[in-house]
């Protein structure tokens, strides 16, 4: 019995020792695991992703910016006259013989977006949204509808200003497109597919992007787009690109797509060029554009090798125009422009955008690299006629091509003649193309090549790059309608 009790006590004691050791090991293991887990989820203070607790840093709140934007973005509907008969193709001369051309019923229609930029009804949109429209209807976000008139258009930047008669409207404040950074969040606000205001988000993918959609034979197009991955579709054209503070930083203009629908990238006109164009159109009905008087080329490695250029920075001056502003300031062919004002430039699109913000007569500091030597020139910009004169709001000379001076027809005259638009010839040069065609002073030009002429700048736009036969239609102050055909 005694021997049995000893064995039992030893067994119990061994069991207690084993059990105690087990609990001690489990406690130590649990403490070790807890310590290791804390090490794994410990995040550095610079962490910018998603987590929980005190480390949370979410995306910016777009609600405020979206709420500000949607009330200042409008839906634009346009109507265009439909003309598709043989007689229209033959300059419309059938009407001279009393033959009325067959025209399909109903006008053509289009749609886009616009941004209210002043409380008194001024709206900026794309030129391609309203160009040649016979009727423009604007619908606000609160569903109020207005008829709009065109204040001015600028095909070189694909911008236009229209106006509705209303006061105390919500509007977007201008931001600073130069301050945008690649990777920064932006919102695109517009009316795709004839829907009411739609907001999409994306980031700035690139700046100063040239996609060659505004091609101009005169070389006046300014393409320096902001590229984003915000979803933009048909109907978004002319809508707003805003930053997270709700400031306007661009006007949406195009998408990169093989189908016509959003597929990755959209492009917006920077607001810093929009501001200048809008101001000119409101004040002068046309853009007052300053020119350096040079032809330029981008520099890549191949071009640099061909021209013995050591550093791939700046824009190459391929030609300096005789007696132009750049030549008078001392610029030479072969110089490399490295800055405009205080901003460095490294592409033609950047340079054209920066110059495009100025008017004729403005002085601009231009940094140049001449065979490794850096210097700065002050260039007084000029207009396309190589003068510093600003062209007046009501009168524009188109002498170089037609030999006439035209002015906007008065509302009284338009009403008297029962026409909605037209510009009047105020002067005709002797032996000019127009004079030799038999046109008389006072003639109101209504259409050129079947395109409506509503403002004086429309003539230069319609005739840009034109060669060959031209048809001009209009009416004299006594009510006699006339058609003139001439060659350029």
For the stretch 146-159, pLDDT in tens is 999 988 888 888 89
pLDDT at residue number 170? 95
Q: What percent of the chain has a predicted confidence (pLDDT) above 90? A: 39
**CB–CB of 372/309 below 8 Å?**
no
Tokens of 435: 């004079």
Catalytic residue positions, numbered: 128, 158, 237
Beta bridge partners of 485: 471
Other beta carbons within 10 angstroms of residue 203's beta carbon come to: 14
Confidence of residue 104 (pLDDT cuts 50, 70, 90): low
CA 218, chain centre distance (Å): 19
Mean pLDDT, the chain, rounded, equals 80
What predicted TM-score, i.e. pTM, was given to this entire model? 0.67
Confidence of residue 375 (pLDDT cuts 50, 70, 90): very high
Instruction: Average the pLDDT over 143-171 and give the result.
Output: 92
pLDDT at residue number 53? 45
pLDDT at 311 over 90: no
pLDDT at residue number 367? 95
pLDDT at residue number 426? 83
Count of helices and strands (H, E) across the chain = 11, 26
CA distances, 217 to each of 391, 398, 433, 467 (Å): 22, 17, 22, 12
pLDDT at 195 over 80: no
Is 385 or 280 the better-scoring residue by pLDDT? 280
Question: CA torsion angle for 201, 202, 208, 212 (degrees, to 10)?
Answer: -80
pLDDT at residue number 473? 93
pLDDT at residue number 58? 61
Is 253 or 107 the better-scoring residue by pLDDT? 253
pLDDT at residue number 222? 74
CA distances, 180 to each of 57, 208, 243, 271, 366 (Å): 21, 11, 8, 11, 23
Other beta carbons within 10 angstroms of residue 320's beta carbon come to: 22
Highest mean pLDDT among 10-14, 252-256, 419-423, 430-434: 419-423
Instruction: Average the pLDDT over 215-234 and give the result.
Output: 72
Report helix angle 271-284 to 348-356, nearest 10: 40
pLDDT at 239 over 70: yes
pLDDT at residue number 134? 84
pLDDT at residue number 131? 83
pLDDT at 31 over 50: no
């Amino acid at each position: 019995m005694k021997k049995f009790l000893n064995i039992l006590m030893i067994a119990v004691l061994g069991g207690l020792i084993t059990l105690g050791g087990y609990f001690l090991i489990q406690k130590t293991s649990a403490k070790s695991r807890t310590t290791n887990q804390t090490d794994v989820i410990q995040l550095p203070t610079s962490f910018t992703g998603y987590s929980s607790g005190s480390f949370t840093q979410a995306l910016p709140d777009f609600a405020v910016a979206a709420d500000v934007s949607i009330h200042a973005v409008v839906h634009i509907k346009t109507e265009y006259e439909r003309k598709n008969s043989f007689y229209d193709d033959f300059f419309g001369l059938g009407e001279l013989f009393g033959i009325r051309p067959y025209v399909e019923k109903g006008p053509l229609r289009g749609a886009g977006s616009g941004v209210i930029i002043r409380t008194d009804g001024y709206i900026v949109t794309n030129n391609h949204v309203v160009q040649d429209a016979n009727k423009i209807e604007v619908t606000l976000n609160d569903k109020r509808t207005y008829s709009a008139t065109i204040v001015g258009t600028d095909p070189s930047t694909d911008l236009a200003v229209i106006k509705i008669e209303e006061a105390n409207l919500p509007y977007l404040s201008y931001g600073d497109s130069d301050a945008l950074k690649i990777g920064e969040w932006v919102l695109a606000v517009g009316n795709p597919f004839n829907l009411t205001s739609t907001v999409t988000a994306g980031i700035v993918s690139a700046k100063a992007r040239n996609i060659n959609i505004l091609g101009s034979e005169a070389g006046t197009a300014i393409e320096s787009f902001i590229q984003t991955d915000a979803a933009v579709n048909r109907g978004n054209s002319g809508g707003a690109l805003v930053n997270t503070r709700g400031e306007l930083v661009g006007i949406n203009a195009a998408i990169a797509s093989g189908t016509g629908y959003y597929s990755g990238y959209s492009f917006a006109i920077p607001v810093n060029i929009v501001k200048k164009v809008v101001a000119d159109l409101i004040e002068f009905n046309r853009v007052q554009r300053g020119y350096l008087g040079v032809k330029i080329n981008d520099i890549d490695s191949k071009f640099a090798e061909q021209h013995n250029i050591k550093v791939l920075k700046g824009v190459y001056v391929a030609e300096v125009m005789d007696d132009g502003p750049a030549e008078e300031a001392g610029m030479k062919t072969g110089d490399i422009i490295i800055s405009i004002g205080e901003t460095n430039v490294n592409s033609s699109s950047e340079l054209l955008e920066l110059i495009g913000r100025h008017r004729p007569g403005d002085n601009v500091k231009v940094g140049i690299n001449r065979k490794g030597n850096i210097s700065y020139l002050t260039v007084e910009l000029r207009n396309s006629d190589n003068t510093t004169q600003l062209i007046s709001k009501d009168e524009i000379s188109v002498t170089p091509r037609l030999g006439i001076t035209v002015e906007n027809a008065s509302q009284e005259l338009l009403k008297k003649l029962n026409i909605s638009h037209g510009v009047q010839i105020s002067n005709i040069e002797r032996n000019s193309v127009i004079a030799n065609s038999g046109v008389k002073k006072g003639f109101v030009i209504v259409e050129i090549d079947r395109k409506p002429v509503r403002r004086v700048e429309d003539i230069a736009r319609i005739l840009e790059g034109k060669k060959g036969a031209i048809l001009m239609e209009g009416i004299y102050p006594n009510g006699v309608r006339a058609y003139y055909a001439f060659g350029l």
